[in-house]
Chain A
Amino acid sequence: MIWQCNSCGGTYSDTCAGGLAYYHACPPLTGTIPGPLADQPNKRDENLASTARGTTRAIKAEGLGRTLAELIPPPAPPPPEEPGIFARLWKTLTGG
């Protein structure tokens, strides 16, 4: 899905090639060169606050939220994925 960030106006897909997740974070404010990089007000940062055990998987900063800009139709089923060598061996042995 394509989202628009309500904080910075940027648009992005939440899924990268290969199905890996993409985490948007707002850019800093435009400044002078080589001026300091100031975060914009209400910065949105979708990266996880922590990956440690027992922590809630909340994002770092909600900002002003995001809006669905485009609903990408589900892609056609991908070709059968080539399994790893152990999975292939297992299937060979079990006939599964």
Chain B
Amino acid sequence: MTTDTSLAAIAAAGQTPAAEAAGFPFVVIPPQISFLTKNVPPPSPAYVGSQDQLMFVVYNVIPDQTITIQVRMLMPSGELKQNRWDFPVTSDRALNCFMAPLAEGFLLTMSVYAQGGSPPGSCYAFVFLMAASAGEAPIAQTLAYGYLTDAAGLVWPYPRWTLINEGPGNIRLIQGTNPAPQHNISETVPTGARWRLISVFCRLSTSATAGNRYVGLWVVDPAGTFVSIPAVAGQPPSLVWSYTWGSGLAAAFDSNWGHATAPLPDYLFLTSGQSFSAFCYPFQAADDFTAPLYLVEEWLVPS
């Protein structure tokens, strides 16, 4: 069997292979590229100076979360070095920033992952290479950014770029504030979060004061109410009714169970500071809402 090596040897010797002698045209082109076996440059575009650092910016909502970063570097001596940092981060969606000093050399690989469970939409990280000599524009290179999830962290090179409002979010079932009697329900999107409101559930108990009460859901921006979805039936005195607003639900009322449903827009996105409110009109003394239970899909959005 003829191998590439033997073909090259034949070409170098000016001979023709046996196949050409048998009538097949056969041309051997010697390789134009050769490779060094000494003083080989590293396969990395990230040269790191002695004053350069890695900067990590993390937004997180998971309590007791720790971010781990590992890097592998080729030192000027030819030695491979591996380093690891663990950074605890806050869970209030606020900016966490860490610097990791590097020695001079070539950054070969980097990986970032969350130690605790981290569903999509709950822990987001940026990694930058910072050039110490660059003055007011110190970011030399963006290495990676994206959500750290149970299934995938961030890697460099060949990162998976994901914007902070991209992809699936964190599905959360939240119990809100139980309002005092004769107070409406109101829940506000936290600072640094973005919600898609999926469903809202609450109960209203009415006092013996005569007259029907009418319940609805308002979605509110500081500039004013921009969605209003009333329930289809008025609630008489001295009863406890349940109310559900949800994506895909029909506007309906079941008199046997005292349960009213109403639709929500499929893509009802709310930003920080916006809120929704289950309201009752007219409120009578001792009318009382329970704490709402609501389902949202959440992303982190720095503000």
Q: Chain A interface (Cβ within 8 Å of chain B)?
A: 5, 8-13, 16-28, 30, 32-34, 36-37, 45, 47-53, 57, 60, 81-87, 90
Contacts and interface: CB of A to CB of B under 8 A. Distances in A.
B149 A84 contact: yes
Contact of B186 (A16, A26, A57): A26
Given A12-B291, A20-B63, A83 B117 contact: yes
21 contacts: A5-B177, A8-B183, A11-B178, A12-B178, A16-B172, A19-B91, A21-B91, A25-B275, A33-B281, A37-B220, A37-B224, A47-B188, A47-B272, A47-B273, A48-B92, A48-B94, A49-B191, A51-B92, A83-B115, A86-B68, A87-B113
B173 A17 contact: yes
Nearest to A25: B188
A77 to B, nearest CB: 13
B243 interface: no
A85 B154 CA distance: 12
Nearest to A36: B224
Nearest to A32: B281
Contact of A20 (B172, B228, B272, B280): B172
B96 to A, nearest CB: 9
Nearest to B273: A47
B185 interface: yes
**By DSSP majority rule, is chain B's interface helix, strand, loop, or mixed?**
loop
Given A20-B62, A27-B179, A51-B192, A86 B111 contact: yes
Contact of A51 (B187, B191, B275): B191
Interface string B148-184: 1111110000000000000000001111111110111
Contacts of B187: 25
Nearest to A19: B63
A16 B187 CA distance: 14
A45 to B, nearest CB: 7
A81 B283 contact: no
Given A26-B186, A33-B281, A34-B228, A50 B303 contact: yes
Given A17-B173, A33-B216, A33-B279, A27 B91 contact: no
Given A19-B64, A37-B220, 15 more contacts: A11-B178, A22-B174, A22-B176, A23-B188, A25-B186, A27-B177, A27-B184, A30-B283, A32-B281, A33-B216, A45-B188, A48-B92, A49-B191, A81-B117, A87-B68
A5 to B, nearest CB: 7
A8 to B, nearest CB: 6
B180 A10 contact: yes
B95 interface: yes
Contact of A81 (B113, B116, B172, B178): B116
A48 B191 contact: yes
B218 interface: yes
Contact of B191 (A18, A50, A85): A50
B93 interface: yes
Contacts of A45: 188
A85 B92 contact: no
B118 interface: yes
B101 interface: no
Q: Which of B93, B111, B190, B218 has the most CB of A within 10 A?
A: B190
Nearest to A5: B177
Nearest to B174: A16
Contacts of A82: 117, 150
Given A48-B192, A51-B93, A84-B113, A30 B62 contact: no
Contacts of B30: none
Interface in B71-101: 91-95, 97
Interface string B174-216: 1111111011111110111000000000000000000000101
